[in-house]
Structure formats: structure tokens, C-alpha cells
Structure 1
Amino acid sequence: MRDIYFELLTYLFHPALQSDSYTKDAERVSSVTRSFEQKRKNLIRNLNLDRKVKRLEDTEIYAELSQAKDKAEALMRRYEFIRGVKNMSREWSCLNPAGVGGSDTKQYFVWECGKVGGKFKKKMAQYNLVSFGAGFEAYEAEWESPVTTLPSPLRKAFWRPRPPPHMNFVRSDSDPELDTSTGGGSYNFRLTGGKVYVIGWKLSCVWDGVSRKPETAPVIHLDDGDDNFILSDRFSVRLDTSRPTSWHCWVTFVFQSSYRFPDLKLEQRNMNLDDSNTEWS
């Protein structure tokens, strides 16, 4: 108990417990340490008097110390996790394509950025719980577009061309259910609940005709400068429709309510989708 007590005194200096958003957690740790200071003089005597039925683990103060330690360490792990995300590279890369099903003309392309590939832990209603190590947990949304194609030459000649299709990860305060497509050309994963931080994303497709014309490899576009939507509350990518294919997307995210650490100066870039991307027909 003395070891836990001294650890908790040290934890109180950690920036995670000095955040105004987690004052109750810090107050709880302080309260438990004060309680231990008041009771420890009599702990050994009480245990000796009742050693047949009492164990250290059964004492109320031991349970309080252990619970406070677990909660404080969980909070500090969240701090260290999001600090690592803030400091990581935000560049995205395209993995080398490989043949699909023995075909020389069909290639598999994968684009990645940030924290991706977490270990699956639990299936939830709209997304999966994943882990990037002990105590470093996040969520992963996954969805797929139908096969995308360019408008016919006749439509291009006589109708106003539609904007290029996007895959969007957005949050909604009003939609009661998950909406993975709005029809026409915007393929949305619409998440209900609190605000989020995107911490990573992955996009993939099978592309036809690469070997015959290498210059026709797929090209994607992100309109978020150098940040590539990392620590944003959404993700949006413009798709290449020069070949018919289905696009698969994964977005890794955490909820902002669990990462309120002002000293990290997390970017508050909460954006709305451009109307032109959400009302296609």
C-alpha cells in the first residue's frame, strides 16, 4: 500500500491529472492518499488483531488505493496515446500494388495514413474496438462503395457534370442510424454520438488495366493540406472513377470527450461537408 501511495503522489503531477476536464479524477486520487495517511498508523494493528479473517486485499483502503491507481493510469495512458498521435507523421503512402488472382492487369492498391491496423478486440454496434498496445484503444469504422463508374458520354454532353464521388466519414447529431451511402456518388459512414478525432485511415481498391497502361494507376485526392484529416473530426477522399471498381475504407478514431488535455493543444478543426458532396443525384 505504501508503494501505491507514493505512486499516486507522483501521478498527481502528471499533466493528464492537471487538466480542468479531469479534476474529479485528481480529487479522487488526493482524497485516497489523504485517507491512507490518516489510517495507516492503525492498519497493521488492526490486521494483526483480526489476522484469521482479514487479508490485505480485503481492506477498504487497499481497494480504494488500487482503484485510484487503475483510473489514474488509464487516464495517463490516454494522454500518452493521443500525444503520440499528435507527434506522428501525417503523411500518407501508397503500398506497392500486387497482382490479384493471378491477373497481370488487375492490381491491388492500398493507401494508409496515421494509426491503422489495430488489433481487433470487440465488435460494437457501428464499429470495432481495436488496440494498439496495452491501454491504447481506439475504434475502427469500415465501409465500402458500390462499383464506381464515369457518367456516360451522352450525359456528359447534355447534362451538367456531377462532382467526383467521395468517401466520407462524418458524424451526425440527428441521424438515428448508420448511413453508409447517400446514393449517386457520396458514400458516407455517418456516425452518431459525440465528436471524434480521426487518428488514421486506410483506403483500398482493385484496379484494372495497370499493366497495359501504367500511367492509368488510380489517383486519389484529399483536400486537407498537410494534415490529411489526422485529428480532424471527419475524413473525406475524392475517388478516381476512370476505371470501374469498388472502394474499401477504414477510419480509426477516438472520442474527443476522453482526450481533453489542453496542454497538448489538439487541433479543433471540426468541419462540415461541402453541400456539393452530399446532395448528388
Structure 2
Amino acid sequence: MVENRPFLDFLTHLVLIVGVAIVAFPVYVAFIASTHGTGAFVSGAMPLLPGGHMIENYTLMWNEGLTSSGAPPLWVMMFNSLWMALIIAIGKIVISIVSAYAIVYFRFPFRALAFWIIFITLMLPVEVRILPTFKVVADLGMLNSYAGLTLPLIASATATFLFRQFFLTIPEELMEAARVDGAGPLKFFRDILLPLSRTNIAALFVILFIYGWVQYLWPLLVTTDSNFYTIVIGIKRLSASADAEPLWHFAMAAVMMAMLPPVLIVICMQRLFVKGLVETEK
């Protein structure tokens, strides 16, 4: 019998509400700031009620940007970030699932060594190898290009490891039954492994999309042309401009619009995302 303890229920809900309020309050402040005009920030006090300049601020940032900060229109930067995040997420998943499939289901010399070499690269993030990576990209003429933004970040040892661990849980009888039915390696991969990996792919796509969307250091190094600025670079330039003059309403409008794609991705794929993290379909 479950004991009814009203005080504990109240305390649990109170802690949950306070936690949500702490997390959501900065987002609320950013939204409120994006609805005001320039004069609201002259005094240095942050208003806590919505203003009447929301449509004006959002329209200006979306269509024209802020020329004083060197940032292009927001739609250009969001397109660059969206393209970069999609290429990184899809590229990482494709490369990782194929490499994990080869490591688990094919017998070739130094197979275990190949996996551990891939796994060891987890200790070498982009920040550690930033100089040689930049040198290679520059020598190949990929500065100020989508290839330069995405290709150095497209491999993922973490995703390879996760797919490998998932493939190891699939019974060998399934592979043998497919072989008896005449399924070759590609057919087994396409018709059996990919459907079974659907929730894992969805969970990794959400994580990797956000990883690509919030990239800052690498786009800052390889882009000098404003047409290739990502939204994170644009927000940094807007913030620097806002420090010089009271333009925080424009910066916060950019922040609110930059939040939309990751939030929509999480909301649309929430069910598969949670299922891929807590369950293993077999």
C-alpha cells in the first residue's frame, strides 16, 4: 500500500517549481528585454514587464541585422547555423553507424586496434588539435566555406562507441537467420540494423544537432566573411556592440530567435529522444 504523505508531495512539487523558475527566469528576462526600445536600458534597470517594440525589434534583426556590429541579417546567420548543424549531425551519424557496423560484423586484421584508435580520439577534442586542424583547412582553401565549417567536426568517436555497444546487444541468431534467407551485408544493414537503431539515431541526432548549433570557437577561426557567420558568432558581435551602447533589446531578440530551432528539434523528437536514451529495442 502506497502511503499518502501530503507534506512530502507538497515539498516535492515546491522544489520542482523553484527549479523550473530558476532555469526559466533568464529566458523570461531575455524575452522581456527583446520587447522594449532603446530608452528602456538607459537607466541600467532591467524591466520585468513586456514592452511594445517586439515586432519592430524582431523584424529589424531578421531582415536587416545590426550594421554597427558587423553582423548580417539574422536569417543569414541562422541559415548558416542550420546548415552547419544538419551536416554535422547527419555526417556524424552516417560515419559512426557505418564504422560501428564494420567493427562489429566484419572480421579484418587489427579490428580491435582500429576501434581503440577511434575511441582514443575522445581525448583529443577540437580545442586540443585546433592549430593543425586550422592549418590543414587553410592549406586546402576551405576557409569561409561550409566545408571548412563542417568537415573537421564531422567524425565522432562517441557516436561510434554507442552504435558499437548497441550492435553488440543484437543476437547473433538474427544475423544468421538473415544470412539463411539470402540477405547480404548491405541488406542486413539496411533492412534490420537501421530500423532497430531508429531510437538511437534520433537521440544522437538531437544531441549532435545542438552540438553543431552552439559551436563558437571553430566558426570564429575559419570565417572572416560575414556571409558565413553563424548565429553564435552574430550574438557575440551583438553583445560586444551592446556593451558600447544600449542595444540589448536587439541582442536579446537575436538570442530568442536563436533558441527556436534547437527547442523545436527537441520538442518534435522528444518521444524518440527519451526512448533512445532509456530503452534498447531488440
* TM-score, normalised with respect to structure 1: 0.25
Higher helix share: 2
- Say which structure, 1 or 2, has more relative contact order (CA 8 Å, 6+ apart): 2
* TM-score, normalised with respect to structure 2: 0.25
Higher strand share: 1
Give the greater-gyration-radius structure (CA): 1
